[in-house]
Amino acid sequence: MSAILDAVQEIAGDVRAWRRHLHSHPELSYQEHETTAFVEARLREFGIETQRPTPTGVVGIIDGAGPGRTVALRADIDALPIQEENDVPYRSTRDGVMHACGHDAHTAMLLGAARVLAQHRSRWRGRIKLLFQPAEELPPGGAVQFIEAGVLDGVDAIAGLHVMSNVPVGKAAIRPGTVMAHADKFTIEIEGKGGHGAAPHQACDPVVVASQLVLNLQTIVSRRVNPVQPAVVTVGAIESGTTFNVIPGWARLLGTTRCFDDQVRELLRRELERIAQHTCAMAGATCRVEYEYGYPALVNDPGVAQVLRDAAAAVLGPENVLDQEPILGGEDFAHYTRRVPGAFLFLGVGNEEIGAAYPHHHPRFNLDESALASGVKILVKTALDLL
C-alpha cells in the first residue's frame, strides 16, 4: 500500500494541472462535452477502458490481477452559472460559468486515483469503476441517469468525496448514517383577479394571498412536524405585479424544503399542498402546487464510512478526521447510497491565508490545492481497502 500511496506524490503536479485546466474550462450541467472528452483522453492514456453511459460523463473500468469485488469511486464534473471574480491565472475563460463548488478538484483527484490504481493493477484483485458523473448541480442530479444506464451493475460498494471550504486544509470530516438532507423544490402559482389599486373590493389580490401563504407555510415546521425532526420550509422567491397602483392577476412562490426523514418529506409535501389550497380558497383565489423531488437524504453506510474514515486518518493523521455534523444541504451522491453501500467524505480545502475561505457557490470560491494529493491518496486507499 505505501508504495502505491508514494506514487500519488509523484503525480501531484499533474493533478493540480488537470484541476487548473478544468477550472479554466468550466461547463454547465449536461453540457460537459469538453470535460468528458478531456477525462476520457486521460483515462485512455493511462490504459483504462472507458464507457459513455450518457451523452456527457464517462466511466473508467480497471480490472486488477484477478477476480474479486467491484468498487466504484465517483466524481461530479459540472460547473455553475456564476461569473468568477477570482483573479488567478487559471480563472474561468467562460463568461458566466465557473467551477464554484470544487467539482474541478473532484474530477482531477479521481483522475489521479485512476492513474495510480491502473499503474499498480497487478497488485490488487477485483474491479474498480471510476464514475465521472455529469450534472450534480441540477436536481435530481445526473446520478439518476447514470444509475439508469447501469453504472452500479455489479458494484459492491461506492465512495466519494466533496471538498469543503469551511473545513481547514489538512482535515477531513465524515459521519456514519444520515449526513445530508432530502432537498426538494416547490412552486405555487396563485391565480387571483387583477384590478385597479384603488378598488380592491372588485379584485382578488394575489399579493395579499401570497403574503398570508408565506406565513401559513411557517406553521408546517412549527406545528405539524414532530419537533425532534429537523425540517426547513423556505420561500426563496415571490414574483408578482408590475407597478404601484395595479392589483396583479397572479403571484408565484418558489421555495425549497429540507429534512432527513422519508416520512417527514411526505408530510412536508402534503401540508404544502393543503395549506396552499386552503389559504387560496379562503380569499377566493385558486392555486397550482408543483412539488419536485430533488436529492434524497444522503445516508452513509457505517461500514463504508469507517473504511473512508480510516483512509483519511492514515493520510491526514487520526486527529485531523472530524465528526461531521448533519447538514441540510443536498447532494446527488445520495442516489448511489440508496442502492449500494456507500459513503461520502468532506475534504478540508479552506485556507484563509490564500483567500480560500469563501463559501461554495460564491464568485470567489477557491481551494487550497495542497489538499489534492491527500484527496487522491484517500480515494486510492479507500478503493483498495473496500476491495
Q: Which of 380, 365, 295 is nearest to 92 (CA)?
A: 365
Shortest Å distance, C-beta 162 to Ni ion: 6
Shortest Å distance, C-beta 233 to Ni ion: 23
Shortest Å distance, C-beta 165 to Ni ion: 11
Among 32, 40, 78, 84, which one carries the catalytic annotation?
A: 78
Please tell me whether residue 308 binds Ni ion under the rule CB under 5 A. no
- Whether 136 sits among the annotated catalytic residues: the reply is yes
DSSP class of residue 154?
T
* Residue among 78 and 271 whose Cβ is closer to Ni ion: 78
* Residue among 256 and 279 whose Cβ is closer to Ni ion: 256
Q: Which of 350, 345, 357, 347 is nearest to 386 (CA)?
A: 345
C-alpha triplet 320, 324, 329: angle, nearest 5°: 135
Shortest Å distance, C-beta 136 to Ni ion: 6
Q: Measure the CA–CA gap between 325 and 178, rounded to whole angstroms.
A: 10
- Whether 78 sits among the annotated catalytic residues: the reply is yes
* Residue among 59 and 105 whose Cβ is closer to Ni ion: 105
Tell me which of 62, 72, 75, 101 binds Ni ion, using CB under 5 A.
Answer: 101
Q: Measure the CA–CA gap between 314 and 1, rounded to whole angstroms.
A: 11
Among 136, 261, 301, 385, which one carries the catalytic annotation?
A: 136
Q: Which of 59, 60, 56 is nearest to 33 (CA)?
A: 56
* Residue among 101 and 157 whose Cβ is closer to Ni ion: 101
* Residue among 127 and 335 whose Cβ is closer to Ni ion: 335
Q: What is the phi/psi pair of residue 38, to 5°?
A: -65, -50
* Residue among 98 and 101 whose Cβ is closer to Ni ion: 101
Q: Measure the CA–CA gap between 313 and 316, rounded to whole angstroms.
A: 5
Residues constituting the chain: 387
CA dist list (Å): 357 to 77, 264, 363 = 22, 34, 12
Q: Measure the CA–CA gap between 86 and 130, rounded to whole angstroms.
A: 30
Residue of this chain nearest to Ni ion (CB atom): 101
Q: Are strands 127-133 and 70-76 parallel, antiparallel or unpaired?
A: parallel
Q: Measure the CA–CA gap between 323 and 317, rounded to whole angstroms.
A: 14
318 preceded by cis ω (within 30°)? no
Q: Provide the 10 A C-beta neighbour count for residue 279.
A: 21
- Classify 120 as helix, strand or coil: coil
Using the contact rule CB under 5 A, the part of the chain among 97-105, 107-115, 281-289, 304-312 near Ni ion is 97-105
Using the contact rule CB under 5 A, the part of the chain among 13-21, 57-65, 95-103, 275-283 near Ni ion is 95-103
Shortest Å distance, C-beta 207 to Ni ion: 36
Question: Amino acid identity of 138?
Answer: L
Shortest Å distance, C-beta 163 to Ni ion: 8
Q: Measure the CA–CA gap between 356 and 347, rounded to whole angstroms.
A: 14
* Residue among 137 and 385 whose Cβ is closer to Ni ion: 137
Using the contact rule CB under 5 A, the part of the chain among 7-15, 94-102, 223-231, 334-342 near Ni ion is 94-102
Shortest Å distance, C-beta 350 to Ni ion: 15
Shortest Å distance, C-beta 33 to Ni ion: 20
Q: Provide the 10 A C-beta neighbour count for residue 307.
A: 21
Q: By CB under 5 A, how many residues form the interface with Ni ion?
A: 1
* Residue among 260 and 344 whose Cβ is closer to Ni ion: 344
Q: Which of 255, 258, 254, 181 is nearest to 225 (CA)?
A: 258
Q: Which residues bind Ni ion (CB under 5 A)?
A: 101
Catalytically active residues, by annotation: 78, 136
